[in-house]
Amino acid sequence: MSEFDLVIRGGCVVDGTGAAARSADVAVTGGTVREVGRVGGLGRREVDASGAVVAPGFVDIHTHYDGQATWDSRLAPSSWHGVTTVVMGNCGVGFAPSHTYDHDRLIELMEGVEDIPGSALHEGLAWNWSSFAEYLDALDARTFDIDVAAQVPHAALRVWAMGERASAREVADDIEIAAMAELAADAVEAGAFGFTTSRTLNHKSVTGELIPSYEAPDNELVAIAAAIGRTGKGVLQLVTDFPDVAADFELMTAMTAASGRPLSVSLGQRHDTPETYREVLRQLRRANEAGHRMRGQVPARGIGLLLGLQCTLHPFMLNPVLRQLASLPVDHQAFRMRDPAVKAAALVAQDELVDENLVGGRLIHRYAQMYELSDPPNYEPDPRTSIAARAEQVGRAPQELAYDLIAAGDGTTMLYLISSNYAYGSLDVVRELLTDPYTVPGLSDGGAHVGTICDASFPTTLLQHWARDRTNGIALEDVIRRQCRETARTVGLIDRGVLAPGFKADINVIDLDGLRLYPPAMTFDLPGGGRRLSQRTEGYAYTFVRGELTYAAGRSTDALPGRLLRSRREAA
């Protein structure tokens, strides 16, 4: 007779608490961890984890599966990378609450801010909801390969309460602010995990309008935070450019004081103000020491834009010669680009025009930050291998070298442009961010930027680059603690992220030595054949959600144990 549903035997258990790795078995029954140690009883399923790391499932607190979760049961690529829980609705964008007449407006906003094809959203979204509670109910009727939590987005609240005035970024009146606050509180009461907002110039609709929340005054945000605080649950999340660190922290402190709720803010190193992040870290420490629960959400590597003929961006996207080829299949475009006459005309016509309305559109000529994407991808490249440096070494213009790389082969070649966290030519700054006591890993943007960025593999980078390969890396126990327990706690999830009796049985069995990332590749599996960047990996031997096997050696099983999560009040 089997005593347990599952027993994972003989692995190197890294339990998510930061404790030293140890050899142990893990027993599971009813979707919950029952024993960790030497397990005598048998399991209905027995897994030999000898030589492998056994860790909790990863909790990714910054994704944008808001649309995909309504039509797809597999929240890939995140679920390929050991992630067993995702939190979406970040950056103040999403699809609820929504009036019928605002559907196009919300799609245009998501298409612009998060680079998700509008055609896929138009075809894929059922819109069988109006309120945020109804949106949650629509998700609750579905099953997934991983668990899903949703946050209520500020932009949707503003559009609901203010209509076109929201898109014009007008100041809300007292009645409109009260309506937004009530909507936000109702959403959290219904199960939203919190409220998110954006104050960054990078976030624009596909038509070039800044996100409606960009210039929302402080009193509006404080009123919404206070309403959420009265529910006794939920978290707050903010994206800002930190143009004035003191002013931003004054706002964040006011929001946490009014609500009593935790807050997190996106944080990385900007190349134009490369030391600002250190001041933010100092302010985070001061705020926490003063009793405000704040965390910085930080990336596992540089934020990298992928450039190529299949992608949203590339250095020649506005070139008048090549725009005439843009309607051709990419292999035909590449073939025509290799014609000496076309190449000569294109290089003569090339200028420094950029598209300010696209995320990353201002950066497409930054050849000193641009690298050839390798296999396996190198996310900490030597600056001497940049497109600009390589071109200088052989006496060529960087534009010509970039042209030749993009035009090679079947047109699927990509360049990797590091847009942040690399101002000093290494990831030392990322290590500093990742190891700060007031930060947690985030910003993977799983499900978003599908034509430009593929960072859903951040958890794998934490394991492969930081815990295994880098000379000045981060201890495996600390990497897993941060990506499991600490991310879970940041959003109020206290039932997962640790391998101990009573915790949810989300488990990864990882061949750390065999862990490998493949280069991102473009797939066409969104509704209507829409494109998206995906990135495969090797090394995850098994992934379990609620004790059910969801992935084995990178291949999905038929199991869909993932569910919508609803927020709960903190235990007294």
**414-440 mean pLDDT:** 98
- Taking residue 248's Cβ as centre, other Cβ atoms within 10 Å add up to 18
Residue type, 486: E
Name beta bridge partners: 441: 298
Structure token digits, residue 318: 């506005």
Answer for the pair 7, 34: CB distance below 8 angstroms, yes or no: no
pLDDT > 70 in the chain, percent: 100
Q: What is the pLDDT at residue 453?
A: 96
The residue ranges of every structural domain in the chain are 4-58+507-515+536-556, 59-302+423-490, 305-420
Per-residue exposure over 341-372, b if at least 16 CB sit within 10 Å of its own CB, e if not: ebbeebeeebeeebeeebbbbebbbbbbbbbb
Name residues whose C-beta falls within 8 Å of residue 316's C-beta, 6 or more positions apart in sequence. 322, 346, 350, 402, 403, 406
- Indicate if the pLDDT at residue 571 is higher than 60: no
> In this predicted model, what pLDDT tens digit does every residue of 210-236 receive, in sequence order?
999 999 999 999 999 999 999 999 999
The distance of Cα 144 from the centroid of its chain, to the nearest Å, equals 18
Q: What is the pLDDT at residue 572?
A: 45
Give dist(CA 33, CA 7) in Å, integer. Answer: 10
**443-448 mean pLDDT:** 96
Give dist(CA 190, CA 185) in Å, integer. Answer: 9
**283-302 mean pLDDT:** 98
Structure token digits, residue 337: 């680009």
Q: What is the pLDDT at residue 205?
A: 87
- Indicate if the pLDDT at residue 61 is higher than 60: yes
> In this predicted model, what pLDDT tens digit does every residue of 315-369 receive, in sequence order?
999 999 999 999 999 999 999 999 999 999 999 999 999 988 888 899 999 999 9
Residue 207's pLDDT band, with cuts at 50, 70 and 90, is confident
- E-only strand ranges, 241-287: 263-266
Architecture label for domain 59-302+423-490: Alpha-Beta Barrel (3.20)
* Homologous superfamily (CATH) for 4-58+507-515+536-556: Urease, subunit C, domain 1 (2.30.40.10)
Q: What is the pLDDT at residue 152?
A: 98
Q: What is the pLDDT at residue 554?
A: 94
- Indicate if the pLDDT at residue 57 is higher than 60: yes
> In this predicted model, what pLDDT tens digit does every residue of 236-267 receive, in sequence order?
999 999 999 999 999 999 999 999 999 999 99
Alpha carbon distances (Å) from 342 to 325, 345, 412: 10, 5, 19
Q: What is the pLDDT at residue 374?
A: 95
> In this predicted model, what pLDDT tens digit does every residue of 128-181 receive, in sequence order?
999 999 999 999 999 999 999 999 999 999 999 999 999 899 999 999 999 999
Average pLDDT value for the chain: 97
* pTM of this structure: 0.96
Instruction: Name the burial class of residue 285, with classes exposed (0-12), middle (13-18) and buried (19+) by CB atoms within 10 angstroms of its CB.
Output: middle
Name residues whose C-beta falls within 8 Å of residue 247's C-beta, 6 or more positions apart in sequence. none
Give dist(CA 431, CA 433) in Å, integer. Answer: 5
> In this predicted model, what pLDDT tens digit does every residue of 525-567 receive, in sequence order?
999 999 999 999 999 999 999 999 999 999 999 999 999 999 9
pLDDT > 90 in the chain, percent: 96
